[in-house]
Amino acid sequence: MRQVAFTTLGCKVNQFETEVMEGLFKAQGYKVVNFDEQADVYVVNTCSVTNLGEKKSRQLIRRANRLNPQAIIAVAGCYSQVSPEQVAKIAGVDVIVGTQDRARVVELVEKAAANNKTVQVNAVTDIMQAKEFEDIPLFSIPGRTRAFLKIQEGCTNFCTYCIIPYARGPLRSRPLASIAAETEKLVTAGFSEIVLTGIHLGAFGRDLSNDDKDITLVSAIETVLKAGGTKLKRLRLGSLESVEVSERLIHLMQTDIRFCQHLHLPLQSGDDSVLKAMNRHYTTAQYRELINSIKTNVPNIAITTDVIVGFPGETEDMFENTLAFIKTMDFAKIHVFPYSRRTGTPAAKFPEQISESEKKHRVQILQQLADKQTENYQQLFIGQNLEVLFESSEAKGMISGLTANYVRVYATGSQENVGQIRNVKLEHPYQEGLWGQIIE
């Protein structure tokens, strides 16, 4: 049996797309093996968000070539899309697929094999001309407790630090009928939680709407909840832009217990001048007003966020503004990133680039505040009973999982509990989350 190995860099969308490609290979009789094993085919699903992501992508391609120089190496994803000529020059690369035409990945690999690796197959097309969502069903169900369901592709925000609009192209949404069909497949396979993902998730439906019908993210959420029925225990959203959180969405979260009380709303900076330079489409006052409104309507909701420090031109005073703003927001979790100078984006050419040492210093300061806010949020639930979807066995006799509001919980338990939602009494802080006792 032919063997194929995968490795993935980057976001949850990339992880989902790797699972889709795995299913395509399995459907054609391939066996999926670990990436560090000998395989007939290696697929590297790349990331291009940062220059470091591209460097890691190149390292993994070279690693695959060392593992088996005779294997077919296929390179897919954002790095392939924005820099196909660079990828083509890396030794051992036989197939190049961008962020479209992944449905053809097996066909392209077998074409390269038939040519005995003598002709490089480059299937990268102009992503800016893409018009429709590439609707590839999951041919095999990955063995995890949470299922990611990609419903949207493309981004037109053009933040000055981000390469993604150039890698993913214009907005394309998955048809509601396809979303319903995939949901039914996932809950039938036993998944308790579905996470909706996309490159610009809040823009879902803009390309599907017409004069007679307005299709939005809420339409997709309602479709999943209906199709999932009683078998679906949880629905969670991926990252959203704050300006795209509607009253209808919050109302649905209030009224359907399956809709997890957790929103990831990137802030990126707590200084208005930095937000403007980033081409973010809100002010700190607008962001604060929205978060306060959400928390009023959904008490104890987990609001998680992303913050970039060291953006070009960010002075010490601007950074202090970010710290002061965040101190008032009480986030459940903050992902802190140093600004990464990404070639091909406007910000890469901005003056007043911040030194690496200063960015590192600011990350450390903000991370301390982030850790404190996470600790404060989690302590709100000590002594309470919450339902936990256990996902993994951490060590002998210990398992971990997430509450609906995204608190990591550890407990004594066996492998039999993995994949199950159990009622847990939360007792005390443990590692980056809480320790709890499963209530029989």
**Residue 81 pLDDT > 80, yes or no?**
yes
Phi and psi, residue 435, nearest 5° = -95, 140
**Residue 78 pLDDT > 90, yes or no?**
yes
Give yes or no for a contact between 96 and 61, defined as CB atoms under 8 angstroms apart: no
Question: Which residue stretches of 68-209 are H helix?
Answer: 78-82, 84-88, 105-114, 164-168, 176-188
Q: Which residues pair with 245 in a beta bridge?
A: none
**Residue 61 pLDDT > 80, yes or no?**
yes
Q: Which residues pair with 355 in a beta bridge?
A: none
> Which pLDDT score, from 0 to 100, does residue 91 have?
94
**Maximum Cα interatomic distance, the chain, rounded to a whole number of Å:** 65
pLDDT confidence of 50, banded at 50, 70, 90?
confident
Output the six-digit token pair for 316. 């010490």
> Which pLDDT score, from 0 to 100, does residue 393 have?
80
> Which pLDDT score, from 0 to 100, does residue 143 have?
61
- Tens of pLDDT, residues 111-157: 999 998 899 999 999 999 999 999 887 776 666 688 999 999 999 99
Give yes or no for a contact between 167 and 9, defined as CB atoms under 8 angstroms apart: no
- Tens of pLDDT, residues 401-440: 999 999 999 999 988 888 899 999 999 999 999 999 999 7
> Which pLDDT score, from 0 to 100, does residue 241 have?
94
**Residue 286 pLDDT > 90, yes or no?**
yes
At how many degrees (to 10) do helices 247-255 and 217-228 cross?
20
Mean pLDDT across the chain:
94
What whole-number percentage of the chain has pLDDT above 90?
Answer: 87
> Which pLDDT score, from 0 to 100, does residue 265 have?
97
10 Å CB burial of residue 90 (0-12, 13-18, 19+) is middle
What whole-number percentage of the chain has pLDDT above 70?
Answer: 99
d(CA 12, CA 117): 31
Give yes or no for a contact between 423 and 438, defined as CB atoms under 8 angstroms apart: yes
User: In sequence order, what DSSP letters do the residues of 372-415 get, joined into one string?
Assistant: HHHHHHHHTTTT-EEEEEEEEEEETTEEEEEETT--EEEEE--G
Question: Which residue stretches of 270-343 are H helix?
Answer: 272-278, 284-297, 316-327
Residue 395 or 312, more confident: 312
Q: Is 146 left (phi over 0), alpha (psi -120 to 50) or beta?
A: beta
pLDDT confidence of 161, banded at 50, 70, 90?
very high
Output the six-digit token pair for 439. 């209530």
Output the six-digit token pair for 269. 């900076």
Give yes or no for a contact between 223 and 189, defined as CB atoms under 8 angstroms apart: no
Work out whether the CA dihedral 202, 99, 57, 30 comes out positive or negative.
positive
Strands 146-153 and 193-198, bridge-based pairing: parallel
d(CA 424, CA 435): 9
